[in-house]
Homo-oligomer: A and B are copies of this chain.
């Protein structure tokens, strides 16, 4: 321990000198507290020692030019906090039960680095892409359509209506009951999933849904199969649960279920994370035959299927393909849904549908993570679901996205004829092969030219082909998409692509 500074003067003078400096500072709270704080600092820096006598309140008040009552209030506060003791006849003293040796004093209170050791294990890399003016990111919806006024009104009704007080209290970690009922209704009506309120957890977006499911349902060391191209944020949530990720190949029919079957035969696989409606990022829909095989495999192997149905509503040819969960009769599917795409990511609202025992375990875990959601917002959104506002909004958004998809396909075909892609049947993004192109370099050049898109390397787990790119079309209008395609063509590198898996 460093010695106390030598040359510390008498307590009285030191206090006074210091206090004069302190009192000059603006906006430091009431005067008496400033005085008290200055005394504490003098004790901490060793200018005032345990047992030492302080100047009288009268003398100090004169020196500081404040009312004596202010100094008395400061002394009272210091005594309450245990820094000083006052004896009516003899005066005021620094407490003698303070440690004789105090830690070295630093003038600046704000340390700029931790004084303890941070864990060495790195966190998963953040999944976000730097944002340029034109956002071709598959997960970003059109925010101009969000029914903000309707949401405000519904929030007001929730906050001021019957039962509003309870919304401000601690509540059910599974979510506000009315929103859980509205979600059950939505699932039954539109997605063919027969759920009960007891099987639904409202969560903070599907990111939290996956995090909670991974934490509550998996053990560290479990092997989890995952699509070879997948969302890094989803991988991150799984990795933080300590599981080992085993990539499974994909093709034009979606997840290669035969490969998953072989993996399960070779080793104990606990779960598979999949995006069957539009595989993220390739946009492929899992075929009926593979769906049947996947569910049968899961039933036989007692495999947990984490089905992320993030964009159910956005299907432009025909109707949305019903989720795996709608055909699950053996309780193997844990279904993750979100309102981020059909309403707004900023609301952070999603849901998990499972069996009641699973739902209970997830809720039990969740109480320790953040206890519960914001039930007032949840009730407001329940109202928007009930009265059809969200349906109307979804229809509007779907029409716009279909037009944007067509515009993007057309613009890419015109400006980038070397790109290979099928127009996606739904979703918010297009997956294209750029043969022979270093797509990572392209993404960097495009970003510098004001267009953000995601190269395959952003999604690939392991050594898979990297000459693919994902272009989102939801957040830009038709003119912007045409502009973006032009800039993409201008920034297309001449260089050859790097080999698979050779990522920075």
Contacts and interface: CB of A to CB of B under 8 A. Distances in A.
Interface of A: 1, 27-30, 33, 37, 40, 44, 76-77, 80-83, 95, 97-99, 102-103, 105-106, 108-119, 121, 123-124, 126-128, 139-140, 143-144, 146, 148-149, 151-152, 155-156, 159-160, 164-171, 188-190, 192-196, 199, 203-205, 207-208, 211, 215-219, 233, 236-237, 240, 270-271, 285, 287-289, 292-293, 295-296, 298-300, 302-304, 317-319, 321-322, 326-332, 344-348, 354-358, 361, 364-365, 367-377, 425
For the complex of A and B, the 10 pairs showing the least CB-CB separation, nearest first, are A111-B331, A82-B288, A168-B344, A204-B370, A208-B370, A106-B329, A115-B331, A115-B330, A115-B332, A168-B346
Contacts of A121: 219
B118 A296 contact: no
* Oligomer: number of copies: 2
Given A148-B159, A160-B152, A236-B367, A348 B372 contact: yes
Given A233-B367, A288-B81, A332-B116, A128 B170 contact: yes
A361 B118 contact: yes
Q: Which of A30, A33, A326 has the largest count of B CB atoms less than 10 A from its CB?
A: A33
Given A118-B361, A168-B347, 10 more contacts: A76-B318, A111-B355, A112-B355, A113-B355, A114-B355, A119-B216, A143-B165, A143-B169, A152-B160, A233-B371
Contacts of A81: 285, 287-288, 321
Contacts of A114: 304, 331-332, 354-355, 357-358
Contacts of A358: 114, 118
Q: Which of A1, A99, A204, A219 has the largest count of B CB atoms less than 10 A from its CB?
A: A204
Contacts of A203: 370
